[in-house]
């Protein structure tokens, strides 16, 4: 793709990049831009589409003691509330990747009283799919999309012993070698394509310093607000203090509190998200990727297959083109 074509591209053409392969279709003017200066769509709590809905899973151990007791003795009454507010994504990880997501927020747990070494994801309750199964699905997707790069953030470890951490690292390496990008590499598309690296693994644990193929935990800006306007105000304030130097996430995911849930008994997290997406995405359209004060990088949300979330984020890279033209 020539530079003449790049500088002549319209915002409309950027918006219409095929989301399943948008990285490989980026103009060559952006191939040497570090990934931490690009606008990248992300999935908050990416693996909640397969939460255990058969009531066989206990609520996860991060939940308040009161909820755990209520769930134990009043499960038929409590579980519908848990499910409605715990599901943050409705589609499989492959579908999310097809829709343009390149950052996945992965929260790992070992289920209590499980004699096996199987690991799961969790949010409210545990998933039915194991971590290894989901990672294999991501690997298969990457094999079919050799110029796309994904950032996998492993965090919020629950119930993992040192032995289970090592088993997880072994699984990650078995699944993704030779696609794993070492933390010494230059994170540009041109460099990653040349070396065949497609997976950046960040790991929120102190063992990260002992492993060259693990990147440190990626900062995640979380506003902890249940109203879009309050979330935007929080992020505008943070932007005044500058962005982190490397990869970082701005999470436009809203957070419901107990008061909100109790005052909206027939609603769900999706109802809340869909009602606020017009306001949130209007704010996203005003953002700019890059290295300057106030610039954003990864933007993560809930129900990312809805409301043109990913195209809205990817289109922000058009602003980088305008600067370089």
So which residues are the catalytic ones? 44, 123
DSSP per-residue string spanning 234-247 = HHHHHHTT---SS-
Please report the sign of the dihedral spanned by the C-alpha atoms of residue 134, residue 88, residue 92, residue 64.
Answer: positive
Alpha helices in the chain (DSSP H): 3-8, 11-15, 65-73, 75-86, 93-98, 131-144, 162-176, 189-195, 228-239, 258-263, 269-285, 309-315, 318-324
Q: What is the dihedral of CA 219, 225, 231, 234, to 10 degrees?
A: -70
Closest CA to 44 of 3, 104, 91, 95: 104
Q: Please give the angle made by the CA atoms of 203, 228 and 283, to the nearest 5 degrees.
A: 85
What's the N-to-C CA distance of the chain in angstroms? 14
């Amino acid at each position: 793709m020539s530079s003449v074509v790049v500088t002549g591209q319209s915002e409309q053409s950027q918006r219409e990049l095929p989301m399943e392969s948008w990285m490989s279709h980026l103009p060559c003017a952006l191939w040497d831009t570090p990934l931490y200066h690009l606008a990248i769509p992300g999935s908050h709590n990416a693996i909640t589409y397969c939460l255990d809905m058969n009531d066989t899973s206990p609520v996860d151990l991060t939940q308040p003691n009161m909820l755990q007791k209520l769930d134990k003795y009043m499960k038929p009454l409590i579980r519908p509330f848990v499910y409605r507010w715990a599901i943050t994504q409705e589609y499989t990880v492959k579908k999310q990747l097809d829709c343009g997501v390149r950052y996945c927020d992965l929260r790992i747990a070992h289920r209590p009283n499980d004699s096996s070494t199987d690991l799961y994801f969790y949010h409210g309750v545990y998933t039915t799919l194991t971590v290894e199964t989901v990672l294999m699905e991501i690997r298969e997707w990457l094999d079919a999309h050799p110029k796309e790069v994904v950032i996998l953030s492993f965090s919020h470890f629950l119930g993992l012993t040192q032995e289970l951490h090592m088993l997880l690292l072994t699984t990650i390496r078995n699944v993704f070698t030779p696609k794993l990008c070492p933390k010494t590499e230059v994170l540009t598309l041109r460099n990653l394509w040349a070396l065949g690296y497609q997976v950046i693994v960040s790991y929120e644990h102190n063992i990260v310093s002992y492993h060259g193929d693990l990147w440190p935990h990626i900062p995640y800006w979380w506003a902890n607000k249940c109203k879009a306007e309050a979330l935007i105000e929080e992020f505008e304030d943070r932007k005044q203090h500058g962005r982190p130097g490397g990869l970082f996430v701005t999470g436009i995911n809203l957070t419901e509190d107990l008061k909100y849930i109790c005052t909206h008994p027939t609603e769900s997290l999706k109802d809340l998200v869909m009602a606020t997406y017009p306001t949130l995405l209007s704010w996203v359209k005003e953002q700019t990727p890059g290295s300057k004060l106030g610039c954003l990088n990864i933007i993560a949300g809930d129900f990312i297959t809805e409301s043109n979330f990913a195209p809205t984020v990817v289109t922000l890279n058009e602003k980088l083109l305008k600067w370089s033209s």
